[in-house]
Structure formats: C-alpha cells, structure tokens
Structure 1
Amino acid sequence: MNESVALYLTFSEFQPPRKISGCECCISEKQLKVLATKKLVEITPGEIETYACSALKTVGSIDDFMYLFPRVFDLLMKDEFEWVDPEIIYGAIAIAKFSQWDKRKKDLIKGLSRKKYLQLLKSEDDNLKVDSWLCAISHIESDISFYLQRMEQPEHAQALYSFTERNIQSISSGKLHNPFWRDCPDQEKVILSWMHQGKVAEYLLKTYGMDLKKQATSG
C-alpha cells in the first residue's frame, strides 16, 4: 500500500472539525475555515503551513490535530513545507499524547520516521537535516539507540562527521547546538554521552587531537 494512502486510512476515524479556534495573531479565520472545510488531501502546503507551526500551542485542539495530522505529516515526509521545522511538528505529536495512541498508529509513525531518517543518512546533500530530524524524532521516541547505531555505520560516515561538527561545542558546553533538544533533555544526555565514545570520539581524536577518553580520566 502507498505510504500516503496508509497514513490517511490509519487516521480516517477522525472527522472534520466544525470550527478550529486559534490566536488571531498566529493564524487568520480565513485560513482556519479552509482547514475545516476543504477536502483533507487537497489542502495545500501553503494553506496548512501556518497551522502546522502553531498546532496545539496557540491554535486548535487535539481533536483538530488528529484530523489534520495525516495531511501535515504527509507533507512533512515529502519535504513540501518551506519553513516549518520537523521538531515543531513532532513536538505537537508529543503534546497530542503520542504515547497513548493505538499501536497501529504509533508503529506507522515510527516506521515512517525511521525510513525518513535513513534516507537522510544516505544523502550527502541532506546531512545537516540529520541533526534536525534526530532531534524531532526524539520528541516521541525515548530509546534513540537505533538512530545512533545507524549513524555510526561506515556508509554513513559523512552524516556522522557533519553531526559531530555541528555539535562540537557540546564537548565543553554540555549542550547540543539545536535548541529544540531542551524539549527532550533525557535524549540529549544520551547523545552527549554517545559523543564521548565510539566513532565520534575516534573522529575528534583523528581530526582535532581531542582525546576524550584522556579528558574523562583526568576529570
């Protein structure tokens, strides 16, 4: 089955809202009316992008979100948003009590997330997106070992190096570069620990002469 079709079918139980409420400073009534009345699969990225950026923070309810979610997630997977960060959307998924979704929905979202992540690891043009998507996914997955192990595979070396360079200041600051990690501090701690060992430590020693094992011993 086509992934997009599977996404819409899996969430088809949710009905269109009669009205979506939101902060008028964040989204207009006209935009909200389009989301509540237009056929879901026909809503364009431009029509739903503002909503996606503010969902469950200043716009809409969980019921609204669950109805609009397959469209938002489908467009996110296809990279059709111009300025909505994946961390924002995954943050909304967490607010929508992802841990309480039924197994079929959770398995689908986790499966699509993993597939997207693996695609980014393989693409040299999208290495910088690995950082963003790893952070995003960490909003809904407590165990991120799968993602770290895949980044350490030899064929994904460039992605690992790019991630390390982007977060090299964390060695001294104890904080990852992406500010969205503050929303999932437990996963941030896991990554900070991971960066002090294995492939990351080997890269830092070879490239910059930073001996993290020696630092840990002397500390």
Structure 2
Amino acid sequence: MTVLDRLLAGLPEAFSTAPRPSRIDGCPCCASRAGLDRLLRTPREQLTPGELGPYAASVLNTVGAPADLRYFLPRILQLVLTGELAWPELPLVGRKLAQAGWQDWPEAPYLRRLLDALWLDVLHDAGQWWDADAVLCALGAADPDGTGGRLAEWARFTDPVAVERLYEFALGGELEPRDAFWDERGAAYRTFAAWLRGPELQLAVEAAFLRTDDPTQLDQLITVHDILAA
C-alpha cells in the first residue's frame, strides 16, 4: 500500500469531526430534493458514485455550501482518486476546494499531506493512470503557492517515471498548460507556463541526459530536449 493509499483510507477518520449537515440547499432546477435527502440519510462511506456525483459536480455553484462539502469531501476524494467517479474530474474538485477555503479547515494539514502524496505518485508510480497536467492543474487550483515546489520536484528526474511524464506531455502538443480547467489568469498557470518555456527545465533535461545510460530514457530526453529547444 502506497502513502497515497494509506492517506485515502484514513480520510474518514481525519474528517471524523466534520459535522453531518442537517440540510443541503440547492436550486430546484439543478438538484433533486430526493437525491439531496438521500445524501443526508446514507452513511458517508457508503455513498455511491451515482449518488454523490451530481452533488460533487454542482456544489458551491447551484447546490450546497462549504460546510457540507467539508463533510462529504472524504468520500468525494476517495471516489475521484480511485477512478470510480469520472465526473467531476480532479481539477474541478481542486477548484471547489479553493472556493470552500479548505486551508482554514482543521483537516488542512492532512489534506496537504494527501495532495503532496498525489504529486509524488505522479512522478514515481508508473502504474498510476494520472495525467500530470491534470493533476498539476488540480493542485494548482487548490494550492497555487505550491506549484513552484512541485515543478522543482519534477525537474529533479529522480525516477524514470518523471521523465516519461514529461515526455508524454511534450508529445501532446503546444508546450503550455492544456487542461480545460486551468485558469490562465492564475498564478499556478503562469508558473507552469514559464517553467515549460524557461531555461531551468532545459538545463534539468540536459543534466538528466548526462547521468543516465538507459536507452529508453535517453530517447525520451532527446525528444523532450528537441521540443523544448524548438
């Protein structure tokens, strides 16, 4: 079990003091009263993707408030990060965390550990299905001040997975943040865009090339270097 797996499993306990809401308000055109009531009477950890998905996608827009999002967040994160809940996607959840002011919650230190573990999984676990751009978008929305540190960790290329993630991203098209949920006016977007175009990344790729003798990594690094140079 990875660190991320353990943190996901521990979410219910970490949020054990978050009070269950007595009512969830919502626009009657956008949310079923019966569906919202079902959320309230079903034990949180037993909620299915079909039951929780509509609420998770609409919360803080046409449904709900920060207090009820805090209560349901452990289950939302478990379902999203295991791939059981396809919508809302992770970057949208990151936006909603920022809207809710999660950094002021008692559970903020635990959530920060979970977000850090998620990024480390992106860089070190080849078995994960994560898209680095989407995860960075989600983390940048929730915690924009941490974007520079995450990019510095990526540029260390201490694991072949980190090289492969950059290779996959570079082959995907324009060298700029691409996820649909990026806020182009936001600090995280600007930091990532500048990193992709700046000399630090090129130097990191060149340093990684000099210290590896793995043919696959060498081919990937050459391709990335040529795309960056262009």
Tell me if TM exceeds 0.5: yes
AA in 2 matched with 1:31: G
Cα offset, 1:47, TM superposition: 0.9
AA in 1 matched with 2:25: S
1:34-85: CA deviation from partner (whole Å, max 9, x where unpaired): 1111111111122101111111111101121111111112222322212321
Cα offset, 1:14, TM superposition: 2.3
Contact 1:45–1:75 (8 Å) recurs in 2: yes
- Match for residue 178 of structure 1? 179
Higher relative contact order (CA 8 A, sep 6+): 2
Separation in 1, partners of 2:224, 2:45: 50
Contact 1:166–1:177 (8 Å) recurs in 2: no
AA in 1 matched with 2:96: A
AA in 1 matched with 2:98: A
Contact 2:94–2:141 (8 Å) recurs in 1: yes
Structure 2, unaligned runs of 5 or more: 206-220
Q: Quick check: 91-100 or 72-81, which moved more? A: 72-81
Separation in 2, partners of 1:76, 1:205: 30
> Could you say what secondary structure the match of 2:11 adopts?
helix
Find 1:161's aligned residue among 152, 161, 167: 167
Separation in 1, partners of 2:47, 2:228: 52
Separation in 2, partners of 1:199, 1:127: 24
**1:1-219 equivalences in 2 (<5 Å):** 2-4=6-8, 6-102=10-106, 105-124=107-126, 126=128, 129-141=131-143, 142-152=145-155, 153-155=157-159, 156-166=162-172, 168-170=174-176, 176-182=177-183, 185-195=186-196, 196-200=198-202, 206-208=225-227, 210=229
Structure 1, unaligned runs of 5 or more: 171-175, 212-219
Separation in 1, partners of 2:76, 2:121: 19
Separation in 1, partners of 2:19, 2:77: 17
Q: RMSD of the alignment, in Å?
A: 2.6
Contact 1:124–1:159 (8 Å) recurs in 2: no
Report sequence identity in percent: 23
Q: Quick check: 47-56 or 156-165, which moved more? A: 156-165
Cα offset, 1:129, TM superposition: 1.3
Q: Quick check: 18-27 or 82-91, which moved more? A: 18-27
The runs of at least 4 aligned residues of structure 1 exceeding 4 Å deviation read: 123-128, 200-205
> Could you say what secondary structure the match of 1:139 adopts?
helix
Alpha carbons of structure 1 residues 167 and 140: separation in structure 2 relative to 1, 3 Å: farther
- Match for residue 217 of structure 2? none
Cα offset, 1:125, TM superposition: 6.2
AA in 1 matched with 2:229: M
Q: TM-score, normalised by structure 2?
A: 0.77
Alpha carbons of structure 1 residues 209 and 87: separation in structure 2 relative to 1, 3 Å: closer
1:118-158: CA deviation from partner (whole Å, max 9, x where unpaired): 22233456576111011101112212223212222152101
Q: Quick check: 39-48 or 150-159, which moved more? A: 150-159
- Match for residue 214 of structure 2? none
Cα offset, 1:5, TM superposition: 5.0
Q: TM-score, normalised by structure 1?
A: 0.81
Contact 2:95–2:138 (8 Å) recurs in 1: yes
Aligned length: 204
Separation in 2, partners of 1:209, 1:71: 40
